[in-house]
Amino acid sequence: MDVQKENSMLKQKQMLAGHFMDLATAKESGKKVVYTFVPGNLSELIYTFDMLPVYPEINSLQSGMRKKSGDYIRDAEDMGYSEDVCSYVKCDIGMMLQGNIGPTGQKLPDPDLLLLSYTGCFVFMKWFENLKQLYPNSEVAMLHIPYQEAGVIEPSAVQYIKDQLEKEVIPKMEKVSGKKFDVKKLQKKLELSGQAEDLLIDVFDSARHRPSPIDAYFGGVYYIGPIFTAFRGSEDCVEYYQELKKEVDYRVKHKLGPVTPEGVMKEEKARLVVEGPPNWTHFRNFWKIFYDLGSVFVGSTYTRVGGVYDDGFRHSPIDPLGNLAKYCLGCYTNRNIPQRIDLLESFITKYHADGLLVNSIKSCNSFSAGQLVMMRELEQKLGIPVGFIETDLVDPRYYSYSNIKNRLDSFFQMLEQRQSVKVSDEILSDDVLA
């Protein structure tokens, strides 16, 4: 069965097809290519130099969804990569060894610049060491982002990143692209980014309604696509979110639930918040478990992996390099455990969630470290049911439907019991008042 597609999804598909066509013809057109990562990405700056971005972890998740990641991972392990290494890394390396064919069936170009923006994931640095071995002729630029250990963005950290942008990143981009840095061009793109981010948060905040018109996890990974990958800072990106908001507003007005692969969810029975990325190799199967039970995710931390806008941050043309620095510092994986707990608590309370689910990813320490602490603290503080399951990003060997289903059955039994107690308390309260 095909996924039901709305106009926004069709537009996103067209945008992605155009981007991968540009990549496939980059050498002929003279466009330079930058390999970089989603968290803390500098897409506006990349496009200021008329270069094209490639995101290795996006290649890996798309390979997972296309059922190709298993072979790629085995090829990387045959080279000597351990089973414990991040499956995104092994999938990406295996994909490159097999010709680096992208999701449209066209070969991705080799990088002219490896731009490592380190935001809370140590694996990124080792990943780029391996990419440098595969692409020895590419330039390398390192952008180190200090971890938010104290839970705040320090002015000294902002200045530290600005200095790196001015002395390391921008000079490398000028060298590779052959173009001089144009701050006004960057400011225009940052202004467009802020407009798209306003619209995205409007979409996520629609989950306050009952029924929620969106699924902020499974649907949310589509919503974040343009803004966290190749299109932030473009007119196309703003137009996508304008179209998406129209669709969501329509569902709010007509009290419709989120769109699932099998149509609009007919009845909302449970509202959940989730911590951790989804599994990509069995994405449809994973999603179906929940919508078959009438469960909708009203909040998700994974959809903030490329940037957190809930606390008011927006890209802005004012102090453009300082603005980019603050964006990088605020990414979810660059935040400490108390900050992550606070964000989850805000989702649970703001979106009136019935429970919290943690999806622990076997090969991703950036997300999995501290999850049990986060789960127990929120359970004690808010008195909500919590559930814990384990999968992996793109390694199909670590998706066990029966294990997941067994754990979720127990979790949903807790939810049903809690909801029954809540209804009984409300009836008793009404009787007393009467």
Mean pLDDT computed over 321-331: 96
How far apart (Å, rounded) are the C-alpha atoms in residues 409 and 405?
6
Is 157:151 a contact under the CB 8 Å cutoff? no
The strand pair at 295-300 and 355-361 is best described as unpaired
Instruction: With respect to residue 114, please indicate whether it lies within any of the assigned structural domains.
Output: yes
Is 393:361 a contact under the CB 8 Å cutoff? yes
> How much of the chain exceeds pLDDT 70, in percent?
95
Residue with tokens 């296309």: 66
Q: Two tokens at 158?
A: 């902002």
- pLDDT at position 141, please? 95
Tally of structural domains, the chain? 1
Q: Own/partner pairs for 126-133, CB < 8 Å, 24+ apart? A: 126/89, 127/56, 127/86, 127/88, 127/89, 127/92, 130/89, 130/93, 131/35, 131/56
For residue 110, give the CATH number of its domain. 3.40.50.11890
How far apart (Å, rounded) are the C-alpha atoms in residues 319 and 206?
31
Mean pLDDT computed over 234-247: 97
How far apart (Å, rounded) are the C-alpha atoms in residues 171 and 168?
6
More confident residue, 407 or 103: 407
How far apart (Å, rounded) are the C-alpha atoms in residues 300 and 279?
14
Residue 2 scores a pLDDT above 60:
no
Tell me which of 5-19, 149-163, 179-193, 255-269 is least confident.
5-19
- pLDDT at position 421, please? 64
- pLDDT at position 129, please? 86
Q: Two tokens at 302?
A: 């994974």
Can you say whether the dihedral through the CA atoms of 136, 119, 107, 282 is positive or negative?
Answer: positive
Residue 142 scores a pLDDT above 70:
yes
Mean pLDDT computed over 36-63: 94
| Predicted confidence (pLDDT) per residue in 145-172, tens digit | 998 888 999 999 999 999 999 999 999 9
Residue 105 scores a pLDDT above 90:
no
Q: What is 77-104 written as a DSSP string? A: HHHT--TTS-HHHHHHHHHHHTT-B-TT
Residue 429 scores a pLDDT above 60:
no
- pLDDT at position 188, please? 98
Q: How confident is residue 106, by pLDDT bands cut at 50, 70 and 90?
A: confident
Instruction: With respect to residue 219, please indicate whether it lies within any of the assigned structural domains.
Output: no
Instruction: With respect to residue 210, please indicate whether it lies within any of the assigned structural domains.
Output: no
How far apart (Å, rounded) are the C-alpha atoms in residues 255 and 257?
7
Instruction: With respect to residue 4, please indicate whether it lies within any of the assigned structural domains.
Output: no
Residues contacting 76, CB < 8 A, separation 6+: 85, 89, 90, 91, 93, 94, 97
| Average pLDDT of the residues of the chain | 92
Question: Which three-class secondary structure state does DSSP give residue 281?
Answer: coil
Residue 424 scores a pLDDT above 50:
no
Question: Which three-class secondary structure state does DSSP give residue 266?
Answer: coil
Domain boundaries, position 164: 26-179
Closest CA to 141 of 161, 123, 121: 161
Closest CA to 248 of 223, 276, 273, 284: 223
Cis status of the peptide bond prior to 136, with omega within 30 of 0 = no
Radius of gyration of the chain (CA): 22
Is 60:69 a contact under the CB 8 Å cutoff? yes
Q: How confident is residue 175, by pLDDT bands cut at 50, 70 and 90?
A: very high
| Predicted confidence (pLDDT) per residue in 16-48, tens digit | 999 999 999 999 999 999 999 998 899 999 999
Instruction: With respect to residue 132, please indicate whether it lies within any of the assigned structural domains.
Output: yes
Instruction: With respect to residue 434, please indicate whether it lies within any of the assigned structural domains.
Output: no
Instruction: With respect to residue 372, please indicate whether it lies within any of the assigned structural domains.
Output: no
- pLDDT at position 422, please? 61
Instruction: With respect to residue 360, please indicate whether it lies within any of the assigned structural domains.
Output: no
- pLDDT at position 131, please? 87
How far apart (Å, rounded) are the C-alpha atoms in residues 110 and 382?
49
| Predicted confidence (pLDDT) per residue in 264-321, tens digit | 999 999 999 999 999 999 999 999 999 999 999 999 999 999 999 999 999 999 999 9
Mean pLDDT computed over 98-123: 87
